[in-house]
Amino acid sequence: MESAIISGIQQIGIAVSNVESAWKWYRENFGTDIRIFEDRAEASFMLPYTGGQPRKRHAALTVNMQGGCGFEIWQYTERTPEAPKFEIKAGDLGIYAVKIKCKNVKATYALYLQRNHKVSEIVKCPNGHEYFFLMDPFGNIFQLVSSSNWYMEDHKLTGSGCGAVIGVSDIDKSLKVYSEILGYDQVMYDVHGIQPDFSYLPGGNSPFRRVLLKPGKTRKGAFSKLFGESQIELIQAFENKPRKIFVGRYWGDLGFIHLCFDINGMDQFRTFCESKGFPFTVDSRNGTHGNSFDMGEAAGHFAYIEDPDGTLIEFVETHKVPILKKFGLYLNLQKRNPEKSLPDWIVKALRFSRVKN
């Protein structure tokens, strides 16, 4: 293998004050009811972002079998996680919203209204597609967008994550990460000015530049079909002075803490990121002497870079993942062609790890 393979967005980290209650809400509303792993351990590699000290945590990685990236629902267990010190506005620096794919925008909107969720009106983005914003009970913003890209269809109205809206200070500089490194090199729109569909957001009535990106090449890899298609939308505020969403706080405090990509070829990818001027700031290989990092029910390597504004991008090279855990069936991904998708029957066996309310 000459270069690393990015299979798609593996998961988005969501830090909460209680894993159980948050996960229940996400199961009921976004269908993330498949448990990939759940683990209580110490986050000992993230010292640059946790005040220089290891921090005990409880985390669960969950997915929706209809497709999309997972949620890593993350909770400190020995300190009280801090909320943002100010009202987050559109264009503030970091992961502002997570895109959730749905089969029918209007039907999903009607369901959420019935459940008395906090939603905007249905609006149109610059390419004319309908969507709406939703704020969960924990203050996180999601953008519900229409999609025809599904993995294993069932009765749910939504899949899980299919991208993110990220506030940046300079879109052109940020493209070095999101286009050149992550492969979102196809521009779907690039607009300037007042954005009518942002009027429901704090700070949304100011002028923005916003660029919607998607990969120009089809993703490859073991779970690429499950992760599905994804988009990154970069937004840059012109009148409001943006602030870092996590300024004065730790990774693991409340909110969207990272955007994580599933990769194969960590050593090649380390060299590639360095060549682009974005070296790894965290690398689990340094603390495991090249061995897999044990995540309880899964194992692999992980690393982080920062985008030009300090937003954390994680990379995970998965080595072992549970497929039928109660029967002791774990999949070793190091012994297969890294470009090939797993057979559907193997991926669909994850449904037997479903957690019910």
Q: Which of 114, 130, 111, 112 is nearest to 122 (CA)?
A: 130
* pLDDT tier, 1 (very low <50, low <70, confident <90, very high otherwise): very low
- Give me the domains of the chain, ranges plus CATH numbers: 5-353 (3.10.180.10)
Q: What was the pLDDT predicted at 337?
A: 79
Q: State pLDDT tens for residues 284-334.
A: 887 555 555 555 555 678 999 999 999 999 999 987 665 655 545 566 666
Q: State pLDDT tens for residues 153-208.
A: 888 999 999 999 999 999 999 999 999 999 999 999 999 999 999 999 999 999 99
Average of per-residue pLDDT values in the chain: 91
Q: What was the pLDDT predicted at 292?
A: 53
Query: Which two three-digit tokens encode residue 277?
Result: 């001027």
Torsion 262-267-268-274 (CA) sign: positive
Q: What was the pLDDT predicted at 284?
A: 86
Cα separations in angstroms, 204 against 25, 102, 163, 194, 336: 27, 24, 20, 8, 47
**264 pLDDT more than 70:** yes
**123 pLDDT more than 60:** yes
Q: What was the pLDDT predicted at 30?
A: 97
Segment (H or E) for 225: helix 224-227
**279 pLDDT more than 60:** yes
